[in-house]
Amino acid sequence: MTKIRDDLSRRDVLKASAGLGLGAAASATLLPTAVLGADAGSLKAESGQPVYFRGWEYRTDIVQDNVNRYNKEMNGKIDYATVTGDYPALMEKDLIAKAQLDLFYANPSQAVRFLEGGWVMPANELPAYDSIVADMYPNIRDAWTHKGKLLGLSYFISVRGTMVVNLDKYNKAGFGEGDYPKTWSELYSLLYKLREKGEKQPFLPHWFNEWFGIAWGYALEVMNRGGSVADPETHKPMLTVDGPAGATLEDWKKIWKDGFVPEELLSYNEASYIGAFRSGRYVISPQQIYDIKQFNDPQKSPEIAGKTGFLPYQGQSWGMIDSAIYMMTSRKRPADQTDDLKRFASWYGYKDQNGDCFVANRWMKESMLFSAYKEVMEGPQAAASIKSSLVKPTDYEKLLEVYQHTPYPKGIFNVVWAEEYNSWMKEKLFAFFLKDLAVADVINETNEKINQLNKKYKLG
Q: Among residues 53, 48, 99, which one has the least CA distance to residue 79?
A: 53
| pTM for the full predicted model | 0.89
Q: What is the pLDDT of residue 422?
A: 96
Measured distance CA(80)–CA(100) in Å, rounded: 11
Q: Among residues 105, 147, 121, which one has the least CA distance to residue 323?
A: 105
Using the predicted structure, report yes or no on whether residue 220 has a pLDDT greater than 80. yes
Using the predicted structure, report yes or no on whether residue 180 has a pLDDT greater than 80. yes
Using the predicted structure, report yes or no on whether residue 30 has a pLDDT greater than 50. no
pLDDT tier at 139, thresholds 50, 70, 90? confident
Instruction: Please check whether residue 209 is in contact with residue 221, taking contact to mean a CB–CB distance below 8 angstroms.
Output: no
Measured distance CA(255)–CA(192) in Å, rounded: 9
47-81 as b/e, with b when 16 or more CB fall inside 10 Å? beeebbbbbbebeeeebeebbebbbeebebbbebe
pLDDT tier at 11, thresholds 50, 70, 90? very low
pLDDT tier at 41, thresholds 50, 70, 90? low
Contacts of 172 (CB under 8 A, 6+ apart): none
Q: Does 159-320+407-456 match 22-158+322-392 at the fold level?
A: yes
Measured distance CA(377)–CA(15) in Å, rounded: 9
Q: What is the pLDDT of residue 18?
A: 32
In tens, the pLDDT along 276-290 reads: 999 999 999 999 999
Measured distance CA(203)–CA(382) in Å, rounded: 30
User: Class for domain 22-158+322-392, per CATH?
Assistant: alpha beta
Rg (CA), the chain: 22
Measured distance CA(419)–CA(270) in Å, rounded: 18
Rounded mean pLDDT, 226-239 = 98
Residue 433 CB coordination number (10 Å): 18
Q: What is the pLDDT of residue 14?
A: 42
Rounded mean pLDDT, 4-21 = 38
In tens, the pLDDT along 262-319 reads: 999 999 999 999 999 999 999 999 999 999 999 999 999 999 999 999 999 999 999 9
Measured distance CA(408)–CA(6) in Å, rounded: 11
Residue boundaries of the structural domains of the chain: 22-158+322-392, 159-320+407-456
User: Class for domain 159-320+407-456, per CATH?
Assistant: alpha beta
Rounded mean pLDDT, 327-333 = 98
pLDDT tier at 385, thresholds 50, 70, 90? very high
Question: Angle at Cα 134 formed by Cα 152 and Cα 80, nearest 5°?
Answer: 30
User: What percent of the chain clears pLDDT 90, i.e. is strictly above it?
Assistant: 90
pLDDT tier at 352, thresholds 50, 70, 90? very high
pLDDT tier at 27, thresholds 50, 70, 90? very low
Instruction: Please check whether residue 277 is in contact with residue 295, taking contact to mean a CB–CB distance below 8 angstroms.
Output: yes
DSSP 8-state symbol, 313: P
Residue 331 vs residues 83, 117, 149, 375: alpha-carbon distances, Å: 19, 12, 18, 32
Residue 278 vs residues 168, 256, 391: alpha-carbon distances, Å: 13, 22, 15
Q: What is the pLDDT of residue 460?
A: 74
Instruction: Please check whether residue 243 is in contact with residue 227, taking contact to mean a CB–CB distance below 8 angstroms.
Output: yes
Is residue 44 classed as helix, strand or coil in its secondary structure?
Answer: coil
Residue-averaged pLDDT of the chain: 92
Which DSSP helix (H) or strand (E) runs through 221?
A: helix 214-224
pLDDT tier at 123, thresholds 50, 70, 90? very high
Measured distance CA(125)–CA(264) in Å, rounded: 46
